[in-house]
Amino acid sequence: MRIITLFSVLVLLVMPLPSWAHGGEDHGEGAFAGGTAATGPVILSDESIKTLGIETAKAELKPLENAISMIATVGLLPERNAFVASRFTGQVSEIMVKLGEKVKKGQPLLKIQPTAVGANNVTLAAPIDGWLIRQDVVLGQTVTSETVVMEIGDTSQVLARGVLYETPDIAKIKIGQKIRFQADIDPERVYQGTVQRLDMGLEENDRTFKVHALIDNPESRLLPGLRGDLDVMVGGGDQDRLIIPRKALLESGGAFFIFVREEDKFERRNIVPGESSGDEIEIISGVFPDEDVVTQGQYQLQYIQPQTQDAPAANDKD
């Protein structure tokens, strides 16, 4: 049986292919058109698997938790956001930090020379730990007691502010429920959190309801202003179902399929999907519990020709 070489995989990756999108979604591998139906497994070397960035997930038997989905925007927590203002009229004489710098509570930020005769320079310090996310003054600028000179934000935790239009689903959302958030710029990364606060009513002008979810963000990957999909987990049935990540699904001509990995072999399977919730989907038939389903690199796999039993191995000698 022939082993697909690294060179063959690279050739396939650079071949021009028509555009195709699975379910209106593109999860970052590149969405291509068509795909020849496989009649046998695709076999890859370790090097080729690494080149394609193949990743898998287990098909699991578990309840499918219902989720309410909405668009959300990342913002700072009010208690982790601070403005630095001048308390008097004066002139900026020294700026001691740079925009985007991480600062500690009490760290000197800038000096102001008051206009009062004989007054010494006054140093303004950071009121909280965080990042310098805004700087609105330059050297020599005159400021007053109402001038906001800097803004500091602590992004170790953030709020995802979701917007839900008037619907009976509003009644299902409670404080403390678990959430999942995926940013548009990095949809493969899923952040976990909880519903922290809810609006007490609908907005009169647009009939929307706001959901505020608290998300731990220790690496500060989620920045204020980023948008994404927020799923609030509102419970589900007790019955176990066969569940896989929804991003594993591929579609061609109205039929759905996935790739199942067994060591260096990748088998294309036609499947029948069931209900979905968030980033998970139920599989009615076509895969078994504990099988490894390809969740990354599957778009490229569909264009690699399967092997036949009588094909010579790549390293056979005449």
The predicted pLDDT at position 201 comes to 74
Same domain, 162 and 148: no
Residue where one domain finishes, among candidates 236, 254, 276: 236
Indicate the pLDDT class of residue 167, thresholds 50, 70 and 90. confident
- Domain extent at residue 118: 78-153
Span 258-309, pLDDT tens digits: 999 999 999 999 999 988 877 789 999 999 999 999 999 999 998 888 875 4
89 and 133, same domain (yes or no): yes
pLDDT digits (tens, 9 = 90+) for 76-119: 999 999 999 988 899 999 999 999 999 999 999 999 999 887 78
**Residue 229: band (very low, low, confident or very high) from pLDDT cuts 50, 70, 90:** very high
pLDDT of residue 237: 66
Same domain? 230 vs 165: yes
- Residue 185 pLDDT: 94
Contacts of range 141-144, beta carbons closer than 8 Å, 24 or more positions apart: 141/91, 141/92, 142/89, 142/90, 142/91, 143/86, 143/89, 143/90, 143/91, 143/92, 143/112, 144/86, 144/88, 144/89
Share of the chain above pLDDT 90, in %: 60
User: For position 40, which CATH number holds?
Assistant: 2.40.420.20
What pLDDT score does 28 carry?
37
pTM of the predicted model over 0.95: no
Task: List the single range of 114-118, 183-187, 313-317 with lowest mean pLDDT.
Answer: 313-317
CATH of residue 117: 2.40.50.100
Q: Are residues 70 and 184 in the same domain?
A: yes
Same domain, 73 and 91: no
Are the beta carbons of 194 and 212 closer than 8 angstroms?
Answer: no
Would residue 57 count as lying in a domain? yes
In a domain? residue 35: yes
Residue 52 has pLDDT above 50, yes or no: yes
Whole-number pLDDT of residue 99: 94
Clarify whether residues 178 and 246 are in a common domain.
no
Whether residue 318 lies inside any domain: the answer is no
Of the three residues 133, 153, 173, the one that is the final residue of a domain is: 153
Calculate the alpha carbon distances from 141 to 27, 83, 87, 112 in Å.
48, 18, 15, 9
Q: Are 28 and 187 in contact (CB under 8 A)?
A: yes
On whether both 146 and 93 belong to a single domain, the answer is: yes
Higher pLDDT residue, 4 or 68?
A: 68
In a shared domain, residues 82 and 144: yes
- Rounded Cα distance, 183 and 181, in Å: 7
Q: How many CB atoms lie within 10 A of CB 52?
A: 24
Same domain assignment for residues 209 and 166: yes
Q: Please say which residue of 108, 128, 153 terminates a domain.
A: 153
**Residue 219 falls within a domain, yes or no?**
yes
Q: Please state which of the ranges 2-16, 22-36, 159-173 shows the lowest mean pLDDT.
A: 22-36
DSSP-based three-state secondary structure for 14: helix
Residue 227 within a domain? yes
Q: How far apart are CA 318 and CA 299, in angstroms?
A: 34
Give the Cα separation of 200 and 197 in Å (integer).
9
CA distance linking residue 264 with residue 230, whole number of Å: 36
Mean pLDDT of 209-237: 91
What's the structural domain count of the chain?
3
Query: Within a 10 A sphere around the Cβ of 7, how many other Cβ atoms?
Result: 10
Say which residues have a Cβ less than 8 Å from residue 34's Cβ, sequence separation at least 6. 17, 18, 20, 252
Q: How many CA atoms lie within 13 A of 108 on its CB side?
A: 9
Summary mean pLDDT of the chain? 83
Taking residues 31-43, what's their average pLDDT? 57
Tokens of 47: 């090097």
**Residue 46 domain-assigned (yes or no):** yes
230: CB partners within 8 A, 6+ apart: 69, 70, 71, 72, 160, 162, 179, 180, 181, 211, 213
149 and 166 co-located in one domain: no
Domain check: are 246 and 258 in the same one?
yes
Does 110 share its domain with 12?
A: no
What is the CATH number for 176? Answer: 2.40.30.170
pLDDT of residue 64: 82
